[in-house]
Structure 1
Amino acid sequence: MITTIASIVRLCIAVILGGIIGYERQAQSKSAGLRTHILVCLGSCLCMIISINIAMDMYFQYGITNSDPERIAAQVITGIGFLGAGTILANQKERNVKGLTTAASIWAVAAVGLVVGAGYIVTAVAATFLVFIVLTIFIRVDDLVRRHRERQYTFHIIMRNTVGQSRRLADFFKKEDIQVESFQSIAAEEQPRAELIVSVSTFRDVHENKIILDLLALKGIEEVYTKPSDGKEKDM
């Protein structure tokens, strides 16, 4: 039986450990931050404590030996999925999946709460430390890998100055999974030709010449230039 004092201590530890992970997510301006992680860890810990105490009560008061203290705790892992799904669905307006790391951190915090509730405090502290390391230090490794794979280009595009042509260009980049980082118009709005400087990035293994050829194949695109590292323009 977990005493009231021991239960309160475990709940407080759960608040602290959940707050450590939640603080990092809050600092990154994620959808699930400090309070969410604290509540998840606290609630998970409470479920584990109640689950153990109910099983012990059934045994000592009624002699029931087949009471399973893991049932309530097991439902926490399943039920926490709706919070994780919410952090992912909130970013579906963009054409890439975001929120997976925050969803995973919520799931991990729930597990930490269960471990605290079960009384394995040292294990819970170690797990929290490792989760925090993954969220803070490994992000630098992730950025290095991302920068290594990411290709960035800047194109000078001359095309017909119409709304339909602009939409056609935007649809091309979207279809080819090319992210437009910035663009600048260097021609007057009333001119029949639009001249744009477009900076793009992509994780696809595609050479700039291939993109230029595909752009020139679009209706209304007249010229495409790009700047190599030596600063000299080349065109196709």
Structure 2
Amino acid sequence: MNAIFEDFIDDNFFLIIVRVLIALVLSGLIGFERELKNHSAGFRTHILVGVGACLMMLLSLFGFEAYIDKYDNVRFDPARIPSYVISGIGFLGAGTIMVYGGTIRGLTTAASIWAVAGLGLVVGAGMYAVAVFTTLIILLSLVFLNNFEKLFTRGGKNSLVVEIVSYPGLPINKVVSVIEESDLKVKQVEVIKVENDLRSIFIKVDPKEDLNKIKLFESLSAIDAVKSVSER
């Protein structure tokens, strides 16, 4: 009975549990920030990436000890599996990058997923202080630098992208007229067929500081064939 128990729980079991839990907490903090901002990859995604990366690192460190002890000619590189994690996580990050009417969104979330994978690897290697410090840096970057960045993009330098989901027969010229009535300059218009008869119309404009978005969206929603209006 003891032999069977030892097969399931070895000397490194509790160390592994601690590292997985730390990876869960740290990656969850970053994911929670993304969840609050309604990004495509949020709380659960970041936790899965962080814990999964930590698990791969733990596998690389402790998963092959029995083979090394049993066979003298066996050699292994503990960095081999983590290197595949770092390169492979890019595919998941690419899935969060979307294009809306010429505007690319999701780059920051893709970068946070890549960073969380690195956090998982670092925690799996037992570098707790580095992991906690890096988590704080990432959170500060996501929360505070976003507001700091907006200070330099005011005054028309930033673009507003309005997404209109519509049924067939929507007069595009009327939509443009409503936007121009709000003293907004239309920079780009892109129409994409979503599914069935629905279309997504992305309109990029130069916003003004005193823009009443609620009034603008109400005016656009009042147009025939408009299903929904949102900001991207």
Task: Give me the TM-score of the superposition, normalised by structure 1.
Answer: 0.64
Q: Find out whether 1:112 has 2:119 as its counterpart.
A: yes
Q: Find out whether 1:8 has 2:22 as its counterpart.
A: no
State the partner residue of 2:188.
Answer: 174
Alignment check: 8 A CA contact 1:54 1:69 kept = no
Instruction: Label 1:147 to 1:70 Cα distance change in 2 as closer, same or farther (>3 A).
Output: same
Write the deviation string for residues 195-216 of structure 1: whole angstroms up to 9, x where unpaired: xxxxxxxxxxxxxxxxxxxxxx
Q: Equivalents in 1 of 2:141, 2:11: separation in Å? A: 32
Q: Could you tell me how far 1:51 is from its partner in structure 2?
A: 0.7
State the partner residue of 2:229.
Answer: none
Q: Find out whether 1:62 has 2:71 as its counterpart.
A: yes
Alignment check: 8 A CA contact 1:55 1:68 kept = no
RMSD: 3.0
Write the deviation string for residues 160-183 of structure 1: whole angstroms up to 9, x where unpaired: xxx57558879x7317x9516665
Q: Return the letter of the residue paired with 1:144.
A: L
Instruction: Label 1:147 to 1:14 Cα distance change in 2 as closer, same or farther (>3 A).
Output: same
Q: Equivalents in 1 of 2:120, 2:11: separation in Å? A: 15
Q: Return the letter of the residue paired with 1:179.
A: V
Q: Could you tell me how far 1:58 is from its partner in structure 2?
A: 3.2
Alignment check: 8 A CA contact 2:187 2:205 kept = yes
Bigger Rg over Cα: 1
Q: Equivalents in 2 of 1:141, 1:53: separation in Å? A: 43
Q: Equivalents in 2 of 1:35, 1:8: separation in Å? A: 19
Q: Equivalents in 2 of 1:164, 1:28: separation in Å? A: 30
Q: Equivalents in 2 of 1:23, 1:168: separation in Å? A: 37
Match of 2:95 among 57, 64, 86: 86
Match of 1:96 among 103, 106, 113: 103
> Structure 2: where are the runs of 5+ without partners?
1-9, 160-170, 180-185, 190-202, 208-212, 224-232
State the partner residue of 2:7.
Answer: none
Q: Return the letter of the residue paired with 1:40.
A: V
Q: Equivalents in 2 of 1:118, 1:2: separation in Å? A: 16
State the partner residue of 2:154.
Answer: 147
Q: Could you tell me how far 1:85 is from its partner in structure 2?
A: 0.6
Q: Could you tell me how far 1:92 is from its partner in structure 2?
A: 1.9
Q: Could you tell me how far 1:142 is from its partner in structure 2?
A: 1.1
Q: Equivalents in 2 of 1:66, 1:164: separation in Å? A: 66
Q: Find out whether 1:129 has 2:136 as its counterpart.
A: yes
Q: Could you tell me how far 1:62 is from its partner in structure 2?
A: 1.2
Q: Equivalents in 2 of 1:166, 1:4: separation in Å? A: 66
Alignment check: 8 A CA contact 2:23 2:50 kept = yes
SS in 2 for 1:31: coil
Q: Find out whether 1:18 has 2:22 as its counterpart.
A: no
Q: Equivalents in 2 of 1:164, 1:19: separation in Å? A: 43
> Structure 1: where are the runs of 5+ without partners?
153-162, 190-236
Q: Equivalents in 1 of 2:206, 2:174: separation in Å? A: 13
Q: Kindly tell me the number of residue pairs found equivalent between the two proteins.
A: 173
